[in-house]
Structure 1
Amino acid sequence: MTGPSSLPDKQAILTRLSSGDFDAFLYDCDGTLADNMGAHKASYRAVAAMYGFELDDAIIDELAGWPIIQVAEEIKKRYHADFDPVVFTQQKNTMYEVSFIQETQPIEFVVEHLKAHAGKVRIAVVSGGSRASVSRTLRMLGISNLVEVLICAGETARGKPFPDPFLAAAAKLDVAPARCLVFEDGLPGVRAAEAAGMRWIRIDHV
């Protein structure tokens, strides 16, 4: 659907779409709760420039939700670049934490949705970012105390678009996957939710 411009309208639509017999809401972080994808893209571009190539950051949208190291591996493959993906990931995380994370703003209608449902359903955040970065972001958004379970990059055998992170969150919450609703902005996250047997809402379509 085409997203309405009014914040109350978006809140109402999200509330309506998420109504149902759910025991847990599982939110992605970057691009779903946090309006920070521009900052993440800038940090990827800055590290790519250190290695002498100009990164088309459309790849970040394409791979939204992937663990950062897997994004680095895909960048290396597509650009035939000469870098260690582990080192690239460390540099990207440092660049983001030092130079860009302060630009983070809430995606207000999603943050308010989480706040309104905390205590009514179980709450988890499932992200392809590092635990340090995601934890800091949730603190900046003022919701870290409302998140019961946090699953981040490297904490499951496979990341999105595989179901492992969402299944791990459901297991830690002790909620059946079929009774979880996922909130995602990226297609890999949607695919992961589907593979986990969970229903989902695509935030960038609200």
Structure 2
Amino acid sequence: MNRALIVKEKQKELTRLSNGDFDAFLYDCDGTLADNMEGHKASYRAAALIYGFELNDAIIDELAGWPIIQVAEEIRKRYGVPFKPEEYAQLKNTLYEDAFIQDTKPIDFVVAHLKAHAGKVRIGVVSGGGRVSVSRTLQQLGITSLVEVLVCAGETSRGKPHPDPFLYAAKQLRVDPSRCLVFEDGNPGVQAAVAAGMQWIRIDQV
């Protein structure tokens, strides 16, 4: 089966799974809409090398969806390296935006799903990334104009796996949380959706 047919079949399955009486679809960005996790991992590893240690990037999969500064704090705790988490996070962001963001590719069937439903339900993107990086990523994917609400790291008092980012998106969209469907690739994002009282679809299981 060629790639176009695979994408079409995956989009069809995602549409089937998301069929229901929903008012809003809330998508994670990195790893859900954007095929860019290798770039993020590379920038985390590069930042670690600058601070003098080698990072096992399995931690990035484990904490997928956490705000970057909280990931940096967890790295500091586990590796016992005396850096300031906010400085590590800023370095990681700079490295990613300078060297990797231009290589961002869409996860085709998810982006196609968003495009097909824009205008039919409210559309939000809820990410643990910084607003500048996420905005540039959405621009790379060509979907900026379709996203009505964007919630990024630091814009709520708590990030994923807490429900705050999803609840904030629902509030801005003026949609009841129970009528939102979340699309996520990481465990923390799924936990946040559950805590927010929202239904969810795990993209890597579609």
TM-score, length basis structure 1: 0.97
Q: How does 1:58-77 map to 2 (within 5 A)?
A: 58-77=58-77
Q: 1:73-104: CA deviations, max 9, x gaps?
A: 00000001121101001101000000111110
1:88 paired residue number: 88
Residue 170 of structure 1: how far off its partner (Å)? 0.1
Query: How far 1:112 moved relative to its partner?
Result: 0.3
Tell me the residue number matched to 2:100.
100
Distance, in Å, in 1 between the alignment partners of 2:102 and 2:15 is 29
1:7 CA drift (Å): 1.4
CA-CA distance at 1:21 after TM superposition = 0.2
Which aligned pairs between 1:126-165 and structure 2 lie closer than 5 A?
A: 126-165=126-165
Question: Residue 116 of structure 2 corresponds to which residue in structure 1?
Answer: 116
Amino acid at match of 2:145: N
Map 1:13-24 → 2, pairs under 5 A: 13-24=13-24
* Whole-Å separation in 2 of the counterparts to 1:186 and 1:123: 19
Partners of 1:104 and 1:183 in 2: CA distance: 19
Secondary structure of the structure 2 residue equivalent to 1:201? strand
Query: Residues 108-140 of structure 1, C-alpha deviation per residue, up to 9 Å, x if partnerless?
Result: 000000000000000000000000000000011
1:192 has 2:192 as partner: yes
How far apart in 1 are the matches of 2:39 and 2:49?
15
Residue 50 of structure 1 aligns with an amino acid whose one-letter code is I
Instruction: State the distance in 2 between where 1:168 and 1:117 align.
Output: 21
Q: Secondary structure at the match of 1:134?
A: helix
Indicate the residue corresponding to 2:46 in structure 1.
46
Name the SS of the counterpart of 1:181 in structure 2: strand
Offset of residue 71 of structure 1: 0.1
Asked if the contact 1:24/1:122 (under 8 Å) is kept, the reply is yes
Q: Does 1:178 align with 2:178?
A: yes
Deviations 1:38-92 (A, max 9, x none): 0000000000001111100000000000000000000000001121101001101
- 1:6 is displaced (CA, Å) by 1.7
Runs of 4+ in structure 1 deviating by more than 4 angstroms, as ranges, are: none
**1:12 alignment partner in structure 2:** 12
Q: SS of the residue aligned with 1:193?
A: helix
- How many residue pairs match? The answer is 202
Look up the match of 2:78. Answer: 78
1:51–1:82 CA contact under 8 A, matched in 2: no
Q: CA deviation at 1:194?
A: 0.1
Give me the whole-angstrom Cα distance separating, in 2, the residues matched to 1:67 and 1:189.
Answer: 11
Aligned-pair identity in percent equals 74
Task: Report how far residue 199 of structure 1 moved.
Answer: 0.1
